[in-house]
Structure 1
């Protein structure tokens, strides 16, 4: 249960509370098509990651290890850099999404949004100080809370559904589905973070497939029901806090207040899970969890500073984050094509998913400048490291206790 909750936390965050509404405003009811397509792609990516973990036996090395086995050290360095330097941009975005809910209730403006984002980013960093990060305290209860509130919002407003809201299906044309899909790319992303948690699962051979399958089903149910429910209840132009609107329809002001409390809590759950994964990826380079947190925290601080002095909307941060995540997906899917058996169904799944991700990546446009700059810097770093190898650490980092192992044991399972 804790493993499934951790995987769901990595994939479904406060973006669930806002991004379906943004996609609906972009593509109208046709946004449901984008959601369904990305959920299928997400399931394919998740299945590929499970196959890679079982085939390679890297014991939780995640996306960096898969890439290293397929394409070598330099490519693995680039993937690590995309993940550690590009993806943290999404942590302030999670806080800003929660801040939109707070601002909607309090009447606050951008200052409220930014203050909420700063507070949640700091809380996510603090939550990762323990030996298993946010796993033991946050993930399971907060994931259950997220699922319960979203499903309650949809069910309680079913009596107000209006099928006329589904017409026209594509008011901005079917070409608007692709930009809507890019905004919704966070449905797809998260599995690269979850892959880094595989090493934390006790008895991976038995639990990994169950945990992944459970997470896929839960995330799919939440996104599809919420997207369709908010279109039917609120129409094709929902506001920036659609779940608050749904709960207010069902329960009055108390419901809206509940949504405002939920949004920061869910944002913290997702941000903490992602930050924890980022530290795991950075640790082999930095040598310690605290230095890894410092690197991730620096990227988050720079992002928050830029968002404060400019008028950058949350959608821009989402796209920039996705522009760094999608190359990671494409690289790992191509690694699966190279590593998996020619007759493996997972290899064909990886090929189909790679083609879809490549198409989605092209729609990122100028946001691809960010991962391009990171890639150039990472290649230069890899070449420098080959000529100036670092000394081995005198004290290797302690192993992370596996989920499901005896919590009172002082020594993790081998």
Structure 2
């Protein structure tokens, strides 16, 4: 496959996937659950992000395929598990995108004191723009996304810098008003803050040099996300105190009195955060659907691409799914609300991440990254259990996926492709980039023949 994006655009896409609209409300929700001790929950989630990002970066280097976590789990556990994981991710994205667009639009309209009708218009416009730009392709739209992500980071840094001088030590006491249970509750809420690494894994095959670029992108993204999340969390506690947990627009309150420049900055943050996350997740889901069609986990119809390699059929199905979810939310707002959609999205992504980390434990050779992936899997598994009754959702999707495999038209599953031999020399084996090596040929999204030589025989490593 010919790569299309480099380090700068890749970092923008990764940051956009992880730093979603949840940052607008999550600091306040965490304070509500645990008080100042919510900072411990933030520290735990950011710490867990490190092994998750490292594991998915290493897997992306070894299997730079648009199938993402579905490809990783297929290599580790077989095509049945890979099919289930792919279906989980593909089903999750429409719910998460509608929920994110609704939350971001409501936040923006609250900051600007506009009517509730404007929120629906803004949410629809953001989703339409995200799907439309994905039709252009990552190479061209990635430039715009890079500019938007840079502007978003600048705005969030502005919020931190403006509010930091108003931090007061007295607002950090009592530090643990809700006890350890409160910290655990806050950590469960904050898992949404580290969702996105599994989505970014689907873009590994789009890089020009995955082996060299993915470690840089993962490290840079982690640093940016940690600084922004930690700064906003500390400012929310230190500036707003307990009242921060009762605010619907904590970002606006950090900037000072409502109105004027503060409202405009808050609205821009809301819109940019929402659009950035939607763009990356939609791109990942469209490519995941095409890869599933290629591998027989979806009808082969999904695998078709248009100009620039854009998987337009899969993208169209994603847009249709989002439209169905949006109509359901409008028709029954008290039942299909943002909270339900976000929780459903979270439990499906937690399931994807859990099996992705299990695949890392099985496939990777570095004891350090395998150990980190195992620890991350334990934490993510605990978060998934907190989904409660919503755990029926991944179970139902798994049944549907396995039923499809059983009754699909007769076809042979593509053989697993093992990575090639490791390079000579041991000095580089301790870096993420050298944990596992790039295959001899990266996987082509639609042209399986790209995996074979002129003779038509599948390449395998010796």
Deviations along 1:59-87, one digit per CA (max 9) or x if unpaired, are: 45421110110111111111110000123
- Asked if 1:139 is matched to 2:161, the reply is no
1:265 aligned partner: 272
Greater Cα radius of gyration, structure 1 or 2: 2
Deviations along 1:131-181, one digit per CA (max 9) or x if unpaired, are: 327742432111111211111111112222222222222333321222322
Structure 1 residue corresponding to 2:161, chosen from 135, 151, 155: 155
Q: Provide the rounded CA distance (Å) in 2 between the counterparts of 1:52 and 1:367.
A: 29
- Asked if 1:306 is matched to 2:313, the reply is no
Say whether the 8 Å CA contact 1:86–1:370 is kept in structure 2. no
1:86 aligned partner: 92
Q: For 1:145-224, list aligned pairs within 5 A.
A: 145-224=151-230
2:385 aligned partner: 362
Distance 1:170 1:138, change over 3 A: farther
Report deviation, 1:247: 2.2
Say whether the 8 Å CA contact 2:282–2:318 is kept in structure 1. yes
Deviations along 1:302-350, one digit per CA (max 9) or x if unpaired, are: 2212222222442332211010001111111111111123x62111111
2:317 aligned partner: 295
Moved more, 201-210 or 255-264: 255-264
2:344 aligned partner: 320
DSSP 3-state at the match of 1:197: helix
Q: For 1:44-59, list aligned pairs within 5 A.
A: 44-54=51-61, 56-59=62-65
Distance 1:299 1:170, change over 3 A: farther
2:250 aligned partner: 242
Say whether the 8 Å CA contact 1:26–1:176 is kept in structure 2. yes
Q: Provide the rounded CA distance (Å) in 1 between the counterparts of 2:111 and 2:213.
A: 41
Say whether the 8 Å CA contact 2:20–2:274 is kept in structure 1. yes
Say whether the 8 Å CA contact 1:154–1:230 is kept in structure 2. no
Q: Provide the rounded CA distance (Å) in 2 between the counterparts of 1:4 and 1:207.
A: 10
**Structure 2, unpaired ranges of 5+:** 1-7, 294-301, 305-310, 415-444, 449-462
**Structure 1, unpaired ranges of 5+:** 400-414
Distance 1:282 1:60, change over 3 A: closer
Report deviation, 1:27: 1.9
2:373 aligned partner: 350
Structure 2 residue corresponding to 1:26, chosen from 23, 33, 58: 33
Q: Provide the rounded CA distance (Å) in 2 between the counterparts of 1:295 and 1:78.
A: 18
TM-score by length of 1: 0.88
Say whether the 8 Å CA contact 1:179–1:363 is kept in structure 2. no
1:412 aligned partner: none
Distance 1:135 1:191, change over 3 A: farther
Say whether the 8 Å CA contact 1:244–1:257 is kept in structure 2. no
Distance 1:57 1:293, change over 3 A: closer
TM-score by length of 2: 0.80
Report deviation, 1:191: 0.5
DSSP 3-state at the match of 1:236: helix
Runs of 4+ in 1 over 6 A off after TM superposition: none
Q: Provide the rounded CA distance (Å) in 1 between the counterparts of 2:131 and 2:269.
A: 20
- Asked if 1:5 is matched to 2:19, the reply is no
Moved more, 194-203 or 343-352: 343-352
Structure 1 residue corresponding to 2:410, chosen from 376, 388, 397: 388
